[in-house]
Amino acid sequence: MRITRIELYKAEIPFHEPFRISLTVSTSAKPVFVRIHAEGALYGWGEATPTRAITGDTQAGAFAAAQEYAGLLIGRDATDIEGANALLRRHIAGEPSIRGAFDNALFDLASKAAGLPLHAFLGGPRRTFETDNTVPIETPEHMAAKAAGFVREGFRAVKVKLGTTAVEDIARIAAIREAIGEGIPIRVDANQGWDVPTAIEVLRAIEAYDVQYAEQPVARWNVDGLRRVRDSVSLPIMADESVFDHHDAARLASAEACDYFNIKLAKAGGIGTGLRIAAVAESFGLSCMVGCMSETRLALTAAAHLVSARPVIRFADLDSHVDHEFDPVTGGMTIVDGLVHLPDGPGVGADLTPEFLERCERIAID
């Protein structure tokens, strides 16, 4: 099954409201969609939605890299996904989001060719699982109101962005717990916003509010700092920006620096590396979450299949489309009462509407 044609689409999807984290403020998603066609009229979809403050890549760079990648892959065996990944990694250092889009498109194509939903192609049963919804950084009052709204909509866990000052961050969690009552897990994510003493101060203070775990308290490079925070607090620590791939995961696990890994297809460069991170977690007795950047339901659905594929993935944060002003995806995962449901049928099971694709800047390579 040779790759015959690759189409690239560039779009912008505004958010309902600006989304602030400790690193940056975002106002829109800027995806590049990759459609890989093969002999036999099958195609697979992938999505790259770069978040420059975290992954270092941009939509313009991803679109340019994609044109080179497409040239490398035309004519190759579409089922040689490992070979394609190795080729792309060698060709350009970095560019994880767009590499992930190609990887996901090839997994979509291969699982369609096999007649299996992607999770089954990867060896996992279909699972229905919880996702949280994420509260961006605002005043404690605004954040508490937003969190309470999520709970009313049926979400069973709330993720809270922190990472400004200790006083503000502790006040945020106190206000949110007050607003949502007991029984709903709160997860916090500082996005590298604290130094080690501040992280220890905040996490010790918010333990009283029944916080489930703390994501990326300190700078991504600070493996020893992450370990010191973990040793000093009772909350489990999740690495996010510190773990892009399985090499990072092995280093963090060996250093006993975290309890959980946040796998994101945009950091890992796709499903293949996501599976490797999950394998490292299993090897060291750790667990994983699968998270997102600001992707549409296309990439989120691929991520949801990955959750279903491996029991070591215990948590999910697949909520980015909720902030989008419009949804160009047909099929795909849905969230009902805080639970993610996978689509039926082979492959990822998500497509883009012809009307949306018509509006995108696009290029085809064959």
Q: Which residues are catalytic?
A: 161, 189, 215, 240, 264
Nearest position to Mg ion, beta carbon: 240
DSSP state of 342: P
Give the residue with the Cβ less far from Mg ion, 3 or 202: 202
132 binds Mg ion (CB under 5 A): no
Give the residue with the Cβ less far from Mg ion, 95 or 189: 189
Rounded to the nearest whole angstrom, what is the least distance from the CB of residue 270 to Mg ion in the complex? 19
DSSP H or E stretch at residue 152: helix 140-152
Count helices and strands (H / E) in the chain: 14, 19
Closest CA to 84 of 26, 34, 24, 20: 34
Give the residue with the Cβ less far from Mg ion, 155 or 315: 315
Rounded to the nearest whole angstrom, what is the least distance from the CB of residue 327 to Mg ion in the complex? 23
DSSP state of 311: T
Q: Which listed residue (240, 259, 323, 351) binds Mg ion by CB under 5 A?
A: 240
Helix, strand, coil percentages in the chain from 3-state DSSP, rounded to 5: 40, 25, 35
Give the residue with the Cβ less far from Mg ion, 23 or 114: 23
Q: How far is CA 240 from CA 86, 88, 183, 314, in A?
A: 24, 23, 25, 15
Binding region for Mg ion (CB under 5 A) out of 60-68, 139-147, 228-236, 238-246: 238-246
Contact (CB, 8 A) for 218 and 197: no
Binding region for Mg ion (CB under 5 A) out of 93-101, 215-223, 225-233, 251-259: 215-223
Binding region for Mg ion (CB under 5 A) out of 23-31, 138-146, 162-170, 207-215: 207-215
Whole-angstrom Cα distance, residue 118 to residue 104?
A: 10
Rounded to the nearest whole angstrom, what is the least distance from the CB of residue 262 to Mg ion in the complex? 6
What contacts 167, CB < 8 A, 6 or more positions away? Answer: none
Q: Which listed residue (7, 103, 130, 189) binds Mg ion by CB under 5 A?
A: 189
Give the residue with the Cβ less far from Mg ion, 7 or 189: 189
Task: Tell me the residue type at 146.
Answer: K
State the binding string over 38-77 for Mg ion (x if CB under 5 A, else -).
----------------------------------------
Alpha-carbon dihedral sign for residues 61, 62, 67, 71:
positive
β-pairing verdict for 237-239 and 260-263: parallel
Laid out side by side, the sheet with 334-336 consists of: 129-130, 339-341, 334-336
Q: Which listed residue (215, 248, 259, 323) binds Mg ion by CB under 5 A?
A: 215
Q: How far is CA 35 from CA 1, 2, 7, 225, 345, in A?
A: 15, 14, 5, 41, 18
Rounded to the nearest whole angstrom, what is the least distance from the CB of residue 57 to Mg ion in the complex? 17
Binding region for Mg ion (CB under 5 A) out of 29-37, 78-86, 211-219, 327-335: 211-219
Binding region for Mg ion (CB under 5 A) out of 109-117, 143-151, 162-170, 212-220: 212-220
Provide the binding-site residues for Mg ion, judged by CB under 5 A: 189, 215, 240
